[in-house]
Structure 1
Amino acid sequence: MASATSYILFLSIFSSASALGAAQPRQSNISLDTSLYPTTNPTSWHSPNGRFAFGFYPEGTGFFIGIWLVASPENSTVIWTADRDDPPVTKDAVLKLTNGGLKLLLQHSEGRLISNISTGTDASSASMLDSGNFVIYDSNFHVIWETFDHPTDTIMAGQVLGSGSELFSSISETNHSSGKFQLSMQTDGNLVQYPVASPHYPADANYASGTNGDGYLSLYLDDKGWLYLHQGNVTSNLTSGYQNGTALVYRATLGVDGIFRLYSHDFELNTQQVLKEFPQVTDPCGIKGACGVNSYCTSANGQVVCMCLPGFDYFDTNRTWSGCRRNVTTTAGCYLGNDNMTYMSALKSVTWMDDPYDAPLSVTSDEDCSDACLKDCNCDAALFSDNTCRKQLFPLRYGMRDDSTTTFIKLVNTSAGGSSHAESPAAAPVIKIRRKYRAGRYRRLWRNKEPALVDEIAPRSFSYHELREATDGFKEELGKGAFGTVFKGALPRGQRAIAVKKLEKVVDEGEREFRTEMRTIGRTHHKNLVRLLGFCDEGTNRLLVYEYMSNGSLADLIFKADGHPNWDERVRIALDIARGIHYLHEECETRIIHCDIKPENILMDDNWTAKIADFGLAKLLMPSQTRTFTGIRGTRGYLAPEWHKNAPITVKADVYSFGIVLLEIICCRKNMELEAEEDAIVLLDWVHNCFMDGELERLVPDEVDMTELNRLVKVGLWCTQSEPGSRPSMKNVVTMLEANVDISLPPPPGFSS
């Protein structure tokens, strides 16, 4: 809970708005052309019962538009904020209800709509309802827009957090911009709280409802205080009911500390009570993500204090919770034959809730643990506890105090000749092998509390007749590829859009083997993988049913002539893809090599999230089936060199393909363009030449952050090294893309040591 000081500060920002609002009439119908103002009446519209207000509230140096629960002029709680991550507006702003919706009018700039109403629909009036929902009506009093459909950090009684929706915490009690935590109502039926700055793997979860596998559940809060998950005939209660009365109002809020709390407000007694917390912790440092990477959490009087590792400084001294980075621009790694270049710094009573990259070592002393890390080029840090040594990679995550653990950090001794810009061949790049120790951790973490989490989710078996009807006789073709043809369809009841792939030339393994493969693919669940919903194995028919991806492929985005995503979007898409491949390689139960990473196999969902398609299907192809070369599975231009050498194919083949895709994303062009200038026909060669000549600006079609461009190009060049062992793991790729490590100079792509 917030301290008394922060709570008083939080309440004080409403003093002017509440005082102005108290004298205004209670209003249930708001007509067109009615306006609100930040500092002059009217500043807000109230619900008929007077408990909720919609309008301007002061925050920081300006004003935001939101809804707050008004218990008295001295006690208000924000439950919704419009455009919460935009800068505050000035006192000259005006909010007006127009036939296009709520329009914010600003001096010296064009106005903007804060409500998105469907094209062809006109607003006629609006209301601030007693439920806390602000709604806009058409001329027939049908609701055409409502704040309940666009939650920020809170749901109120009567509000639903639908499948696939999220809540994001606020930064602080007095800053309602998006904060460090999110509560996701996942499409697998699991309600999970993650740190925003995490890969969103099961091991990152602070709380999970344990209902994964129950289908497309939604989170409900009713007027009796019941908080539950529901869909069809499946209901899972998170709380029991509480007192019901005309003076009681219930809300559930994801707090700035990452705890999801159910509150009751008693308007007769003018009190607020916390009824339930998810998760329940005694120490705020027990919440993963309370402090950022390479920092550890301590608590003082119930408040989080984040401390940097030795040799690290805060990313932002004004936001010490955002994490830390090295105060020299080199990684420790190894330095050829010079034992004085690196040393270990001990940090007593600190541990990390993250997996080691290698099997734990049995040692007899903390000195043995320190030496083991010092002599290991891959090791960045080591944790010693109970005669066990766990080697770690940077960035370190989820650090907290623990009297039984000592953390050793590998540092560079610059006084011994180390340079802050050293580029040692032995340390470039820091290729770190991460073995598969994270798989199954989600189950171990929750086994004693939530037995339902161990249930495996099997894709649904469809009949051929069902899928023929769902696709209207396989009428609408979405595309055709090496695995077969894809058709658009819809499931009955709810008309959920699906994509049905008719497989061709599948290995004739029989029903049992095919179903085994389907279960393997079906158990993969990640936000950056296209979800397998079902399959058909009737007779000779083999079909797969996927979630429908409405915004086409990455190829459609980056190769079109009339525009492309901006730089920030391209960087985000690259990180989406990297996280998906990393999951396939190291996080899912059965390790999967995709074998055909390319823009056509990266699809975009409704929210423009990039998702990898066709993973796990290479094993279903006939051994003789090829796409470009006999015996080779993949696509020309994206194939790693080992495909042509009869060498064993490992996950590093996917890393090479990703490197090519990353360069295509950066440059918004294909890996080979015969119409380009002679030195730019082959993208990989052109990128390396521009990199070495210091002419990276030639690569990009728009204005970008040159530091970030340099970093992404280096990642792409490391990924496309000709020797598989020289390529980084996808774990390291993700870390490099997140700017959490320094990246040394890559050799030419064809270099072989």
Structure 2
Amino acid sequence: MASVRSYLFLLLTISLSPLPTLSQTAGNITVGASLSATEASDPWRSPSGDFAFGFQQLQDDKNLFLLSIWFDKIPDKTVVWFSNRNASNPVPRGSTVQLTAADGLVVRDPQGRLMFSPNGGLADEVGYGYLNDTGNLVLRRGRSDSEPLWESFKNPSDTILPTQIIEIDTALVSKKSEGNFSLGRFSARMNGDGDFVFSSKSAPTNTDYGDEYYNSGTSDQNASASGFQVVFDERASIYILRRNGGQVVLSPRWVPSPAEFYHRATIDFDGVFTQYYHPRTSGGAGNQGWTAASSWPENICFTRSRPCGYNSVCRLENQRPVCQCPLGFSLSDPNNPYGDCRPNSAQSCVQSDDKEDDYDVSEISDTDWPFNSYQQINPSTADQCKSACLNDCFCGVAIYRSDTCWKKTLPLSNGRVDVTLGVTAFLKFRKTDLINPNPNPTTPDKNRNTLLVVGSALLGSSVFINLLFIGLACLGFFLIYKKKNLIFDHNSGANLRCFTYKELVQATNGFKEEVGRGAFGIVYKGLITNSSKTVVAVKKLDRVAQDSEKEFRAEVNAIGQTHHKNLVRLIGFCDEGAHRMLVYEYMSNGTLSGFLFGNSTKPGWSQRSQIAVGVARGLTYLHEECVAQIIHCDIKPQNILLDEYYNARICDFGLAKLLAMDQSKTTTNIRGTKGYVAPEWFRNRQITAKVDVYSFGVLLLEIVSCRKSVDVEEGENPILTDWAWDCFAEGRIDCLVGNDDDVEASSVGRKVERFVLVGLWCVQEDANLRPTMRKACQMLEGEVEVERPPNPYPFTSTTARQP
């Protein structure tokens, strides 16, 4: 009996003891409560116990603890929020965090010295804290206050949870690596213009995330239609909310119920923004871990974000990048598989006179480092390309495709496996560096060894011969079946639909309503009916070689991988027999040509200038930011469409190459439209992206003046570019907008002048004087000063006259 009384007295003593670490009940955190960074410390939990806040011990260093919030009922205790991403967090063993009235949460080291406060400065004193069942840690003045003093949902790290919103100018920033919680290279931000963008730092030492590699395209000239929030709602659907109430849904149509699964969306350390789900139950399927519901971008290897280090090769596996060093290279840091690959022996131009004695070339199929070539050789054979790199001491790799060879020097960036391009990489290595037996990053050694063992066992038996014939027969039937059913490779990242001819006949009502025609074919309006009705534009292609199905699909796939708000989106295609068609989203406001020249009154200057900048941005993307560079070759007002909000959308990009697949030389075939064609087309010179710059310059002058590039009705000034130069040379730029009904154009004279100067730079006869489209875009937007251009045609004499 005495022992029972002693036990009850002990319980009463403990319950009445003023221990701050026990001052948390059902999610509530009282002022004065504290936690210690030790294994024995019990975290503060939400009412359901789904989430916990406290110190989580790091796996790599048992003496460091991360102040964080995590899923507490699953085995891996996944962190969803962590604080103060600098050298102060993680903290050493024995550190403490305490909720104070004056400063909120305060973290001190084992000696009691102040380290940091996760919530920063507060507007008022804290009355209490609360960790709710959504995973949001909240600090409030009192229970009657509607607005919290601080909450973790408004200060995210790399993850958002259901019911959480990303507001304008709020960013998620990735971790440095799986186990390193310091600031990483990637950011996901809701911009003020309405776009949800992913950006990377070009170098770890940079402080800004300036290299954009994903854009939601939800900004709009009409502010009421622009995006302003990324919402992760209680149903586990992620969407961008427009100011007018419209939604752009990012999540797949079906995701598991939040009642049965936990959900989160994270910008991972490799730059992929992924929505995950995990079973709530602890047994059976609950051990399967996190599953990806969807990822953005679809293939990060195909962006300029550089998820893998220099000289590395990136390939996609389960929606995540896998990096591998090629033959002759090794990881600079063996503990970082996503880091740089260094050559096992440095290449030099002075070690040997005969480089073929020192080096060899590894041939790698479907692998490319697409940027920063220092020399292009055309025409070239594969052997010539290989030899050209082998005998060039500056060459690290040569990329060969069709009849063109691109030579590149080390370090190489943005390496990726791409089965759609049909490229071969000739990677140079020193002969003494044969330490990597597997030059092809797409074929693991394990699979190769397995095949060798199986093959060796079968070769000793006649059974192998029978199986070989059966296998070949099955393979043949499979290939025939695959071709007949027109299955498209969705792993390529294009996500295009393959339509049958019958489907498009039905969609267009027998190709009844023609909405346009041009050099590439006729365009018909159609209606695709699935779960919803989608208006489309179906382009029937002319002059496409009928025996080039593989090349056709490769080029269509390349077009399908382009994603930019100033490009018309390719939805699908038809490749059935002699029928080659492309299916695009439909643009309701027609062409720029009709907009500029089809009305008796000029469109407003503000709208025209926005269109010009949109075209410049779209061409910049095609030239520098998409998977493989695309030269349009036919920029003109008829190939600029306008969507429902009058945003410029470039169409017919990639088609010049698509329709020339059966031509051996592209430099001798003049493409484009009279009045927009660059001079080099007529001189049998190598064609570069500068031909598009020239055409854009003509287009820009048309947008400024609302006058066609060639107009015989203008009497003595039929050529717009000549007349524009004469007006500029005589200081009479106002002539170009002289009959502009929009007085706003006159009130922004400096901007008009800037646009005219950019146009004159772009139409320079010497292609070397023309800016890149990126620089042209920067000049239009006022980011770069525009200098006085020289006479575009120094050997042409014209006289300025006002029309």
Q: TM-score, structure 2 length as denominator? A: 0.47
Aligned ranges 1:70-149 → 2 under 5 Å: 70-72=72-74, 74-86=75-87, 88-98=90-100, 99-108=102-111, 110-118=113-121, 120-139=123-142, 141=145, 142-149=147-154
Q: 2:560 aligns with which of 448, 461, 476?
A: 448
Per-residue CA shift, 1:542-574, capped at 9, x if unaligned? Answer: 2899xxxxxxxxxxxxxxxxxxxxxxxxxxxxx
Distance 1:319 1:241, change over 3 A: closer
Q: Does the CA-based 8 Å contact 1:316-1:322 persist in structure 2?
A: yes
Distance 1:315 1:520, change over 3 A: farther
* 219-228 or 308-317, which deviates more: 308-317
Query: Which structure would you say has the larger Rg?
Result: 2
Give the distance between the partners of 1:445 and 1:359, measured in 2 at CA.
26
Letter aligned with residue 236 of structure 2 = G
Aligned ranges 1:331-342 → 2 under 5 Å: 340=355
Distance 1:52 1:26, change over 3 A: farther
Q: Does the CA-based 8 Å contact 1:341-1:413 persist in structure 2?
A: no
Q: Per the alignment, in what secondary structure is the counterpart of residue 747 of structure 2?
A: coil
Q: Does the CA-based 8 Å contact 2:271-2:300 persist in structure 1?
A: no
Distance 1:83 1:115, change over 3 A: closer
Residue number in structure 1 paired with 2:267: 254
Distance 1:108 1:444, change over 3 A: farther
Give the distance between the partners of 1:343 and 1:105, measured in 2 at CA.
60
Distance 1:44 1:229, change over 3 A: same
Aligned ranges 1:284-433 → 2 under 5 Å: 289-297=306-314, 306-308=323-325, 312-325=329-342, 340=355, 345-349=360-364, 351-357=367-373, 361-373=377-389, 380-401=396-417, 405-409=423-427
Distance 1:298 1:618, change over 3 A: closer
Give the distance between the partners of 2:352 and 2:606, measured in 1 at CA.
53
Per-residue CA shift, 1:272-314, capped at 9, x if unaligned? Answer: 6636211486998999634211122478999976444566553
Give the distance between the partners of 1:519 and 1:402, measured in 2 at CA.
34
Distance 1:615 1:445, change over 3 A: farther
Q: Per the alignment, in what secondary structure is the counterpart of residue 27 of structure 2?
A: coil
Structure 2: gaps spanning 5 or more residues: 1-20, 433-554, 569-601, 621-646, 648-703, 705-741, 752-769, 793-803
C-alpha displacement of 1:51: 0.7
Q: Does the CA-based 8 Å contact 1:38-1:94 persist in structure 2?
A: yes
Q: Per the alignment, in what secondary structure is the counterpart of residue 590 of structure 1?
A: helix
Give the distance between the partners of 1:158 and 1:93, measured in 2 at CA.
32
Give the distance between the partners of 1:210 and 1:342, measured in 2 at CA.
53
Residue number in structure 1 paired with 2:167: 162
C-alpha displacement of 1:135: 1.1
Q: Per the alignment, in what secondary structure is the counterpart of residue 453 of structure 1?
A: coil
Q: Does the CA-based 8 Å contact 1:44-1:55 persist in structure 2?
A: yes
Give the distance between the partners of 1:63 and 1:512, measured in 2 at CA.
60
C-alpha displacement of 1:203: 9.6
Aligned ranges 1:13-32 → 2 under 5 Å: 26-32=25-31
Distance 1:279 1:117, change over 3 A: closer
Higher normalized contact order (CA 8 Å, seq sep 6+, divided by chain length): 1
Residue number in structure 1 paired with 2:236: 225
Q: Does the CA-based 8 Å contact 2:395-2:409 persist in structure 1?
A: yes
Residue number in structure 2 paired with 1:183: 188
Distance 1:537 1:79, change over 3 A: farther
Letter aligned with residue 38 of structure 1 = A
Distance 1:343 1:336, change over 3 A: closer
Give the distance between the partners of 1:94 and 1:176, measured in 2 at CA.
19
Distance 1:134 1:537, change over 3 A: farther
Per-residue CA shift, 1:400-456, capped at 9, x if unaligned? Answer: 456864433567999xxxxxxxxxxxxxxxxxxxxxxxxxxxx99885367763359
Structure number with the higher helix fraction is 2
Q: Does the CA-based 8 Å contact 1:69-1:76 persist in structure 2?
A: yes
C-alpha displacement of 1:356: 4.9
Aligned ranges 1:253-652 → 2 under 5 Å: 253-268=266-281, 271=286, 274=291, 276-279=293-296, 289-297=306-314, 306-308=323-325, 312-325=329-342, 340=355, 345-349=360-364, 351-357=367-373, 361-373=377-389, 380-401=396-417, 405-409=423-427, 448=560, 453-455=565-567, 519-521=611-613, 538=744, 540-542=746-748, 586=772, 588=774, 590=776, 614-616=782-784, 618=786
Give the distance between the partners of 1:136 and 1:104, measured in 2 at CA.
16
Per-residue CA shift, 1:482-515, capped at 9, x if unaligned? Answer: xxxxxxxxxxxxxxxxxxxxxxxxxxxx997887
C-alpha displacement of 1:144: 1.4
Distance 1:281 1:372, change over 3 A: same
Q: Per the alignment, in what secondary structure is the counterpart of residue 143 of structure 1?
A: coil
C-alpha displacement of 1:368: 0.9
Distance 1:183 1:336, change over 3 A: same
Per-residue CA shift, 1:455-476, capped at 9, x if unaligned? Answer: 59xxxxxxxxxxxxxxxxxxxx
Per-residue CA shift, 1:20-56, capped at 9, x if unaligned? Answer: xx99964322122210112266431111121110111
C-alpha displacement of 1:201: 11
Q: Per the alignment, in what secondary structure is the counterpart of residue 72 of structure 2?
A: strand
Give the distance between the partners of 2:300 and 2:745, measured in 1 at CA.
58
Distance 1:309 1:40, change over 3 A: closer
Per-residue CA shift, 1:307-332, capped at 9, x if unaligned? Answer: 44566553323223211345677x75
C-alpha displacement of 1:372: 3.6
Residue number in structure 2 paired with 1:238: 250
Letter aligned with residue 81 of structure 1 = F
Letter aligned with residue 154 of structure 1 = T
Identity of aligned residues (%): 24
Give the distance between the partners of 1:175 and 1:402, measured in 2 at CA.
30
Q: Per the alignment, in what secondary structure is the counterpart of residue 334 of structure 2?
A: coil
Q: Does 1:211 align with 2:397?
A: no
Letter aligned with residue 373 of structure 2 = Y
Give the distance between the partners of 1:392 and 1:93, measured in 2 at CA.
52
Letter aligned with residue 407 of structure 1 = A
Q: Does the CA-based 8 Å contact 2:295-2:319 persist in structure 1?
A: no
Distance 1:447 1:384, change over 3 A: closer
Per-residue CA shift, 1:86-143, capped at 9, x if unaligned? Answer: 3532221010112212111003573133324446533232111111011111246431
Q: Per the alignment, in what secondary structure is the counterpart of residue 293 of structure 1?
A: coil
C-alpha displacement of 1:204: 7.0
Q: Does the CA-based 8 Å contact 1:335-1:341 persist in structure 2?
A: no
Q: Does 1:53 align with 2:64?
A: no
Give the distance between the partners of 1:287 and 1:38, measured in 2 at CA.
40
Distance 1:247 1:304, change over 3 A: closer
Give the distance between the partners of 2:123 and 2:182, measured in 1 at CA.
32
Q: Does the CA-based 8 Å contact 2:104-2:122 persist in structure 1?
A: no
Q: Per the alignment, in what secondary structure is the counterpart of residue 338 of structure 2?
A: helix
Q: Does the CA-based 8 Å contact 1:117-1:144 persist in structure 2?
A: no
Give the distance between the partners of 2:165 and 2:93, measured in 1 at CA.
34
C-alpha displacement of 1:393: 4.3
Give the distance between the partners of 2:167 and 2:234, measured in 1 at CA.
18
Residue number in structure 2 paired with 1:37: 36
Q: Per the alignment, in what secondary structure is the counterpart of residue 370 of structure 1?
A: helix
Q: Does the CA-based 8 Å contact 1:44-1:56 persist in structure 2?
A: yes
Aligned ranges 1:695-734 → 2 under 5 Å: none
Distance 1:101 1:352, change over 3 A: farther
